[in-house]
Amino acid sequence: MTTVDAKGPSGTVQGAQVTARIALLLRLVGRAPGGAALSDIVRDSGLTRPTVHRLLTSLAAEGLLDHDPVRHTWHYGPEIFVMGVVAADRYPIEELARPSLRRLAEETGESAFLSIRRGAETVCLLREEGSFPIRSFVLHEGVRFPLGVASAGLAILAYLPEDEVTALLGGELAATWGPAHTAAGIRSNLELTRTTGYAVNPGLILEGSWGMGAAIFDRSGRPAWALSLTGIEPRFRPERQEFLGRLLLEEANRITQELQKPGPLAH
């Protein structure tokens, strides 16, 4: 187990730093459904190889991670599963969203997803495959995108207060996600989203892979989750977007209304 001396200001800083590093490594492992290689984790974390290896080994000793000795990849461990089950009782968004995802997938043939806002990112939580045989594989459980990138992030960002939007668009998303993700380009898409109620990602992450999303609001009226549909470009022609958008908005509104009822899920 990793331990730190939390006495005094320096110990507090060191403890916070270790916590932040552990959280970062757990997120990076979660981004790779097939397992994350040590070299990839080192590259994406910006930490040294010995530091990453030491922290991963400590997390594995606690049951938070598993190491595949054959493929040399890291995966979530059984303790993560237990934590997820416990958290699900307090935040039963999956229970509310699954019927909506099934209806969306059945009615459209596309893959349907639920994403949650976590700080400046969205994280994909759930997926329901549609019947159409050709699919987009940009989005899957555990994948994170910055707000403003992908349809779920656009749908959420469009309904945040302007000061938050400005702060979130202060980084250089275009350098990582392509020239369409300048602040001006994203703002243009946000305006369209506010007009129609749903967001459209016209293949901005991967050419030919389209997506549409609609925000789900918590009890305080803030966008906290989003439903989305993804597929190939011919399935998202302008004449079909209105149909897909209407279904997304209906299901997102259905979940939003359920969230207004008394219960444990407040945000």
Question: Which distant-in-sequence residues (6+ apart) come within 8 Å of 178 by Cβ?
Answer: 204, 205
Least confident of 7-11, 35-39, 220-224: 7-11
pLDDT tens profile 177-222:
888 899 999 999 999 999 999 999 998 888 888 999 999 999 899 9
- Starting at the edge strand found earlier in the chain, the sheet holding 121-128 runs 144-146, 121-128, 111-118, 223-232, 209-217, 199-201
Assess whether pLDDT exceeds 90 at residue 3: no
Q: CA–CA separation, 257 vs 190, rounded Å?
A: 24
Task: Give me the helix-helix angle, 183-196 and 150-157, nearest 10°.
Answer: 70
For residue 151, the 8-state DSSP code is: H
What pLDDT is stored for residue 266 in this prediction? 46
Assess whether pLDDT exceeds 70 at residue 112: yes
What pLDDT is stored for residue 267 in this prediction? 47
Least confident of 1-10, 91-100, 142-151, 236-245: 1-10
> What proportion of the chain, given as a percentage, has pLDDT over 70?
89
Q: CA–CA separation, 123 vs 25, rounded Å?
A: 15
Residues 167, 172, 176, CA angle at the centre, nearest 5°? 135
Phi, psi angles (nearest 5°) of residue 232: -85, 155
Q: CA–CA separation, 174 vs 183, rounded Å?
A: 8
Assess whether pLDDT exceeds 80 at residue 99: yes
Q: What is the mean pLDDT of the chain?
A: 88
Strands (E), the chain: 36-37, 65-68, 73-76, 111-118, 121-128, 144-146, 199-201, 209-217, 223-232
Average of per-residue pLDDT across 114-127: 92
Q: CA–CA separation, 165 vs 146, rounded Å?
A: 12
Domains of the chain, start order: 8-81 (1.10.10.10), 91-259 (3.30.450.40)
The number of CA neighbours under 13 Å toward the Cβ of 137 is 4
pLDDT tens profile 60-86:
999 999 999 999 999 999 998 888 777
Pair 41, 51: CB distance under 8 Å: no
